[in-house]
Amino acid sequence: MASGVPKRREGGVAGVIYNLGRELERLGHHLTYIFQEDLIEPVRVSQRFKDLIFSLRLSRFIAENRKKFSIVNLHAPTGFPYGMRRRLWRSANYPPYVMTLHGLEERRVHVMSREVKKGRAWNYSLENRLWHRFYHQPQFRWSIRTADGAHTCARDVWATLQLKYNLDSDRVAYIPHGVEARFFIERDFHPSERVRLLYAGSWLDQRGIFYIRDALRNLAVRLPGLTMSFAGCGVPPEEIQRFFGTELSGHVIVHPVVAADHMQKLYADHDVFLFPSLMEGLPSVLLEAMATGMSVITTETCGMPDVVENEHNGLLIPPANARAIEEGILRLVGSVELRKKLGVAARETMKRYTWERAAKQLEALYRHVLELEGQAER
């Protein structure tokens, strides 16, 4: 299993790989993990081309070690050089290639093109748009087109792979992430004027942070005791505080780094999880927060509606809508009964989302792809 991301276990793609890998190993399989640091030193290669360099080196690594592997699972867009190599040299007996795709680049273009017109996109200038179209998107496109099979954690991606990229339905699997047992904690639901909001994840414009700021500006006047924590954002705390300004400084708390084994306590210390992302796959932090019994507010897009049913186990709101964020928070602040209802239902929902179940589905996909490629005996 390989991806061009750092190998830290705090979450994101690496966290997904390690969790799936652990369960596959329990099923009796042997895994080799390849991450960014294993093939390149990021500080010694071009930052602009490091993903491409990693992908090329990954293709060579697999080719040189192909007898060691029955199948390779590469996270887009790192798979396209190997996928092309396998297509061009079928006689070389390269192992089949299964791709993992978390989200759609087509959605990124759709969403961020609209955000840049509002002045709410940091890195989507004309130059960057052209770079994305002629450099990044082709890598994703050919990672998909050269794959022997694919799996994704969001149903919109699952459908697009079949309808747009013409992958056969039996070669594409929808496999949502799981939740570790440690996140199923006890939670007390009690009335409070100091409801604590939480956002966890990278500090990106696509995560709806401009709309969080707009909502908090109005809420700070109506709810003077409200606090909003930002955790694990990967940027200096000063940058986040500067973004929200002095008028919100008393309401914004920043936790720059949270160790993976401390995440359940972070969720326990807060009441409402706010994640109004404009584009995603299926964020693990959302599933973890739900497992702890938090009431969640998230957007009705990408993988979020796959697990959140509005008014049952969370609140779904339209993307890019500060008023909807504000109204959702006011509802939850004003009703401990609603917070409890949504939180209890969220925890029950997450009991079905286990890494063991996900790994068994992935194992079935691997076996099916091997059978289709005539390599089941491997």
The predicted pLDDT at position 378 comes to: 47
Just give the CATH number of 12-178+355-372.
Answer: 3.40.50.2000
Domain boundaries, the chain: 12-178+355-372, 181-350
Residues paired with residue 172 on neighbouring β-strands, in sequence order: 150
Question: Rounded to an integer, what distance in angstroms lies between the CA atom of residue 258 and that of residue 240?
Answer: 16
What is the percent of the chain where pLDDT is above 90? 87
**143-198: per-residue pLDDT in tens?**
999 999 999 999 999 999 999 999 999 999 999 999 999 999 999 988 877 889 99
Beta strands in 26-77 (DSSP E): 72-75
Residues paired with residue 152 on neighbouring β-strands, in sequence order: 174
Fold agreement (12-178+355-372, 181-350): yes
The C-alpha R_g of the chain, in whole angstroms, comes to 21
pLDDT band at 127 (very low <50, low <70, confident <90, very high): confident
**260-304: per-residue pLDDT in tens?**
889 999 999 999 999 999 999 999 999 999 999 999 999 999 999
The predicted pLDDT at position 192 comes to: 74
- Please say if the pLDDT value at position 20 is more than 60: yes
Just give the CATH number of 181-350.
Answer: 3.40.50.2000
- Please say if the pLDDT value at position 241 is more than 50: yes
- Please say if the pLDDT value at position 10 is more than 80: no
Mean pLDDT, range 295-319, rounded to an integer: 97
Task: Check residues 275 and 90 and name the one with the higher pLDDT.
Answer: 275
Task: Check residues 234 and 24 and name the one with the higher pLDDT.
Answer: 24
Tokens for 220? 């700070």
What is the percent of the chain where pLDDT is above 70? 98
Residues paired with residue 272 on neighbouring β-strands, in sequence order: 197, 295
DSSP calls for 244-297: H-GGGTTTEEEE----GGGHHHHHHT-SEEEE--SS-S--HHHHHHHHTT-EEE
**334-357: per-residue pLDDT in tens?**
999 999 999 999 999 999 999 999
pTM metric for this prediction: 0.94
pLDDT band at 376 (very low <50, low <70, confident <90, very high): low
Least confident interval from 117-126, 278-287, 301-310? 117-126
Please give the C-alpha separations between residue 334 and each of 226, 243, 330, 358, in angstroms, as whole numbers. Answer: 12, 28, 6, 37
Mean pLDDT, range 358-366, rounded to an integer: 98
